[in-house]
Structure 1
Amino acid sequence: MTVGDPTPRAVAVTRVRALALTGAGVLAALDLSLKAWAERDLSDGQAVDLALIELRLVFNPGVAFGLGSALPSALVLAVTGTIVAGLAVFVWRTPGTGAPVTAFALVVVLAGAVSNLADRAADGVVTDYLHTGWFPTFNGADVLITVGGFALVLGSLRAPSPRSGPAASP
């Protein structure tokens, strides 16, 4: 190794960051593609029944479950943009410091958040297209955020306690 060569740890961190950003980008692009499809093919009010779920086009000016729909769209965009930026910084700064399930969860949540932010930035609303009949209409980004949230909870339940181990003994 010569002076100025990155350490193996630095190379590994760079790879993890690149993989995380690539994964989040691919998942966000997939959801944005599904939203574009829904806007194009379901805009006539038609619904597609898939037994457990129905594809139906709805536009949400608010955030989760339409909360904040009366707020100015610029304010909703600014607040969600700030949250997404904070999440992106957190994902960037924490590669390789936790369990793989935590890294997966953060990437999936970031992907969903970026997708919904990009969708909202285009016209002030988020495109929803998945309808169950008993739950508000949602989209793939919402699924990503929910799955990532559950994975974060599961990861935290499985994580060893910082007080466990030989140092914690009296």
Structure 2
Amino acid sequence: MKDDRHTGEDVPTASPDDPETAAADLADRPLRLWTLLSIAAVVLVFDVITKVLVVAYVDEGNPVEVIGDVVTLSLVRNPGAAFSMATGMTWLLTIVAVCVVIGVIRIGSTLRSLWWAIGLGMVLGGALGNLIDRFFREPGPMRGMVVDFVSVGWWPTFNVADSNIVCGAILLVVLTLFGFEPDGTRKTGDSEK
């Protein structure tokens, strides 16, 4: 087993020559579903609290300056996806978000990598945060508008859920590019055939 100082966990290298040792290494690794769910819960709670506060204290069309006019809190109700795309398909976005939640939980039930658990937990928490808006905000279930409020320069307005989805997805892409698998193994150039 190789000690990977960068990830803080032992990462066995996938070895097609010794499947019994690889299976034993994986069996010794803890499942990370609770880690994933804990991170998702923290993201969800933070997202819901910030949205409630913004709706209560920030008036639409009257941004609050945080760092001059570069970073502001600006209440926007978004019926679409990121960057206000697909604004007429709120119901479809809701169905996609439900599928993402189900998929992440299914993957999480076999997850053994701490870093994959962190990335998927961020995506799950963000998806649930925006899904709550879709179900419980006006104009009604599966058509609700997502509350966005962080405005940074020219970048489109976003929220805590959006930033966690993006950061979690970037982490998952990086893990995949560097060969880190959800089961805790790491593919090397030798083992890829």
Question: TM range, normalised to the smaller chain?
Answer: 0.7 to 0.9
Q: 1:54 to 1:154 in 2, by over 3 A?
A: same
Q: Deviations over 1:42-63 (max 9, x none)?
A: 1353312122411100010011
- State how far apart, in whole Å, the 2-side matches of 1:84 and 1:151 are: 18
Q: Which runs of 4+ in 1 moved over 4 A?
A: none
Does the 8 A contact of 2:134 with 2:145 survive in 1?
yes
Asked if residue 125 in structure 1 is aligned to residue 139 in structure 2, the reply is: no
Q: 1:154 to 1:75 in 2, by over 3 A?
A: closer
Return the match for 1:104 from 112, 118, 124: 118
1:142 corresponding residue in structure 2 = 162
Q: Deviations over 1:134-160 (max 9, x none)?
A: 111111111101111111122122224
Look up the equivalent residue of 1:41 and give its one-letter code. Y
2:72 corresponding residue in structure 1 = 54
Structure 1 residue runs without a partner (length 5+): 1-8
Asked if residue 74 in structure 1 is aligned to residue 74 in structure 2, the reply is: no
- State how far apart, in whole Å, the 2-side matches of 1:34 and 1:85 are: 25
Q: Please state which structure has a larger fraction of its residues in strand.
A: 2
Does the 8 A contact of 2:64 with 2:74 survive in 1?
yes
Q: 1:144 to 1:47 in 2, by over 3 A?
A: same
Percent identity, please.
30
1:6 corresponding residue in structure 2 = none
How far is 1:66 from its partner?
1.4
Q: Please state which structure has a larger fraction of its residues in helix.
A: 1
- State how far apart, in whole Å, the 1-side matches of 2:83 and 2:130 are: 13
Return the match for 2:100 from 70, 73, 83: 83
Look up the equivalent residue of 2:190 and give its one-letter code. S
- State how far apart, in whole Å, the 1-side matches of 2:118 and 2:162 are: 16
How far is 1:10 from its partner?
9.1
The RMSD of aligned alpha carbons is 2.3
- State how far apart, in whole Å, the 2-side matches of 1:162 and 1:138 are: 37
Q: 1:25 to 1:138 in 2, by over 3 A?
A: same
Q: Deviations over 1:78-130 (max 9, x none)?
A: 23222322222222x3320x4x3222111111111111111221121100001
State TM-score, norm by structure 2.
0.70
Which one is further off, 45-54 or 121-130?
45-54
